[in-house]
Amino acid sequence: MTSHKIVVEVVVLVVEVVVVVEIAVVVVVVVVVVVVVVVVVVVVVVVVVVVVVEVVVVVEVVVVVEVVVVVVVVVVVEVVVVVEEVVVVVVVVVVVVVVVVVVVVVVVVVVVVEVVVVEVVVVVVVVVVVVVVVVVVGVVVVVVVVVVVVVVVVVHVVVVVIVVVEVVEVVVVIVVVVVVVVVVVVVVVVVVVVVVVVVVVVVIVKVVVVVVVVVVVVVVVVPEQKKEINRNNVHLHFLRVLKLSIN
């Protein structure tokens, strides 16, 4: 009876250990699954938000690029117009100078012919004044044109710098998103690996426990049970012999 009770208690203990281990494994697996699902949902939400933001930013960048293209075209047209105006101014200045020179030559010839010194001086002064006025006006026009061109170029350079800054911001956002996704994936992989290792360890422990119980039963309990059975048989045989002797 004692050996039988020991066997029963050992079997009950093994069953209880196995049940507890299985419950622990189920709890761990459920927790890991919940964590993985939450992480996946968070990653999906983050990716969706980032994609929406990136689409908006890309649309803005496209609009800015179109504006830059238009601005560049306008700048080119303005430069062409300015060059044409400069050419016209130069031509006008040259024509005025030629006319003045011709007038001077004519006046000088007339003065020489008439031999009037006073008239020559007056004409020369007038011609010099006219030439100076024409040159000053031409220089002022050229300076104004150059200033306008410089201002336009500076404005367009500022616009290009703004576009470059927008593009850099987009690249930074993309890099941050990639880093976040990589970190989340690494965390999920680590969690899965840990769960797998825990499950494998639990299975190994269960197998070891079962093997130990079997060995104990085979090596200790079974021989003890056989000995007890033999003792009982001997005792019964002795009682039978005694009973027969008494009878």
pLDDT of residue 207: 74
State the pLDDT at residue 120: 56
- Report the pLDDT value the prediction gives residue 140, as an integer from 0 to 100: 80
pLDDT bin (cut points 50, 70, 90) of residue 3 is low
User: Is residue 115's pLDDT more than 60?
Assistant: no
Residue pair 56/169 in contact by the 8 Å Cβ criterion: no
| Residue 4 per-residue DSSP state | H
Average pLDDT, integer, range 2-21 = 69
Residue bearing the bigger pLDDT, 118 or 96:
96
Q: Cα 184–40–174 angle (5° rounding)?
A: 50
SS3 190: helix
pLDDT of residue 86: 66
Residue 247 pLDDT class (50, 70, 90 cuts): low
pLDDT digits (tens, 9 = 90+) for 120-154: 566 667 667 777 777 787 778 778 777 877 777 77
**pLDDT tens profile 64-85:** 667 667 766 776 777 677 667 6
pLDDT per residue over 170-205, tens digit each?
A: 778 778 878 887 888 888 888 878 877 877 787 787
pLDDT band for position 236 (50/70/90)?
A: confident
Predicted pLDDT at 75: 67
Q: Which residue has the tokens 């930074």?
A: 172
Tell me which amino acid residue 32 is.
V
Mean pLDDT of 4-18: 69
The domain limits of the chain are 33-246
3-class secondary structure, 219:
helix
Report pLDDT for 217.
Answer: 73
Structure tokens at 124: 């020369």
Buried b / exposed e along 108-144 (16+ C-beta atoms within 10 A):
eeebeeeeeeeebeebeeebeebeeebeeebeebeee
CA distance 243 to 232: 16
58-69 pLDDT, tens digit each: 666 666 667 667
Confirm if 148 and 81 have CB atoms less than 8 A apart: no
- pLDDT for 193 equals 82
CB atoms within 10 A of CB 244: 8
DSSP H stretches of helix in the chain: 2-114, 117-216, 222-246
**Mean pLDDT over each residue of the chain, to the nearest integer:** 73
Angle at the Cα of 97 from the Cα atoms of 95 and 101, rounded to 5 degrees: 115
